Amino acid sequence: MAGRGRVSGCRVVALVVLLLAALVSCGGRSATATGRADLQRLLDRRSTAVLDRDRASFVRTGALSWFENLRGVPLAAWSYRVTALHRTGDGATADAELRYRLQGYDRAPVTVGRTLALSWNADGRWYVDSDTPARKSAQQLWDQGEVTVVRGKHSLVLGTGQSSEELHMYADLADRAVPAVSGAWGSDWARHVVVQVPRTLEGMAGLLGSPASQYRGIAAVTTGEVGGPADAPADRIIVNPDAYAVLGTLGKQVVLTHETTHVATRAHTTPATPLWLSEGYADWIGYLGTGRTPAQAAPELARAVTAGRAPTALPTDQDFGFSGDATKLAQAYEGGWLACRLIADRWGEARLGEFYRAVGDHRTRAGSVENAMSKVLGTTPEKFTEQWREYLQAQLG
């Protein structure tokens, strides 16, 4: 009897284990999977609250955080996708993709990584304690403070720590830049720009996800997807307010026009395009109609030519590194500008734009300039470089 009882007990235990296994199996989802699904539903409600500007609904999903900072930002879409959930005792952290679009500007969503710190609320549901940029992901402007929004005729300007009057100045500059660029490049682009103006250099670096030291002295940069497909998010012109503030009126306009040129040419700027051409062309349009002489617009290169240290080759991509020597960087920009100016002077402005497009349309960097110079300009890189060196001497010597 005793022996049969022990066997029966073992069978009962085995049956319970099998039943538990069956329940888990039939349920089809682990606790982690269920947790992710619950979190996704919470983030869907959070997204709806953002788009509806519904503060009460947003607070029910988590801490208020940056919600008020977004008040004036024109959003067409906002959504999260949970990519990982990591339980940590009573709480958890989650990795998520945030996708959003600016109304009237983004043809496709901007996608950024976010890290969510989570806890359980009194009802036993997920609660978002914080929603911050993921490691190695850039900040968004509303992560840095309340966003002020100014609309121009051809521009949307978003700023933190800036007065409305200051942001209107950027809108005015951008509104002059857009038709100037279209007049030189053509109208086959969006013909409007998004400008972001953070409070400080450090804020600019945060938006770019890079150290501030890389952008000290750089007035603005433009972000965008190489090749600029039709369904890409709009480029962002990101201003360094510290460097921009020291520029004169003309300098500020040249910078905004330069960056706007990058927006316009994005679809034809590819890995095949050398920086001397993309940066030189942007400067060429930036200086059009300003009356600036080569010596005034290229002072560092003028000093080098006068001192008998004229460059022997067109600038390389490495010469445009922000963290290198400032004089070498200035000479690289100036050299690229004068190369484009030479093409416009000798072959015509329309041919310069055709050359730019031909280089970018090449599949690889190798052969891109050679083929375009042969096809569009009827010359070779070697002959062109010699002409460029002579041009430097004639214009700056």
Q: What's the Cα-to-Cα distance from 373 to each of 25, 166, 361, rounded to whole Å?
A: 67, 43, 13
- Split at pLDDT 50, 70, 90, the class of 90 is confident
Task: State how far the alpha carbon of 35 is from the alpha carbons of 47, 125, 261, in Å.
Answer: 18, 10, 47
144-156 confidence digits (pLDDT tens): 999 999 999 999 9
**pLDDT higher than threshold 70 for residue 31:** no
Fold topology of 140-266: Zincin-like (3.30.2010)
Alpha-carbon separation of residue 212 from 159, 201, 217, 244, 336 (angstroms): 18, 6, 10, 15, 25
Q: Give dist(CA 96, CA 240) in Å, integer.
A: 29
- The one-letter amino acid code at 176 reads R
The CA distance from 24 to 367, in Å, is 61
pLDDT for 7 beyond 50 = no
pLDDT greater than 50 at residue 18: no
167: which 2 tokens? 């942001």
CATH 3.10.450.50 in the chain: give the residue spans. Answer: 31-137
Helices (H), 53-200: 55-61, 164-185
Greater model confidence, 282 or 214: 282
- Which band of pLDDT confidence, cut at 50, 70 and 90, is reported for residue 246? very high
pLDDT of residue 326: 87
Q: Which has the higher per-residue pLDDT, 100 or 323?
A: 100
Region of residue 193 (phi > 0: left; psi between -120 and 50: alpha; otherwise: beta): beta
Give residues with Cβ within 8 angstroms of 134, minimum separation 6: 95, 112, 113, 114, 115
Q: What is the mean pLDDT of residues 30-41?
A: 79
Question: For residues 155 and 356, what is the distance between their CA atoms, to the nearest angstrom?
Answer: 25
Closest by CA to 349, choosing from 177, 182, 178, 185, is 185
In angstroms, how far is the first alpha carbon of the chain from the final one?
Answer: 113
pLDDT tier, 6 (very low <50, low <70, confident <90, very high otherwise): very low
The structure's pTM equals 0.89
pLDDT of residue 282: 98
Q: Using pLDDT thresholds of 50, 70 and 90, give the confidence band for residue 226.
A: confident
184 DSSP 8-state letter? H
State both tokens at 277: 């051409």
* Edge-first strand listing for the sheet containing 75-88: 75-88, 91-102, 110-120, 126-133
The predicted model gives 33-60 an average pLDDT of: 94
User: Over the stretch 275-327, which tens digit does the pLDDT of each residue have?
Assistant: 999 999 999 999 999 999 999 999 999 999 999 999 999 999 999 987 778 89
Q: Torsion over CA of 314, 320, 324 and 328, rounded to 10 degrees? A: 40
pLDDT at 133 over 90: yes
Q: Assign 28 a pLDDT band (cuts: 50, 70, 90).
A: very low
Q: 88: pLDDT confidence band, cut at 50, 70 and 90?
A: confident
What does pLDDT average to over the chain?
91
What CATH number was assigned to the domain covering residues 31-137? 3.10.450.50
For residue 52, give both structure tokens: 């509806």
Is pLDDT at 34 greater than 90 in this prediction? Answer: no
pLDDT value for 33? 61
pLDDT confidence of 20, banded at 50, 70, 90? Answer: very low
Q: Please list the residue range(s) of the chain that carry CATH number 3.30.2010.30.
A: 140-266
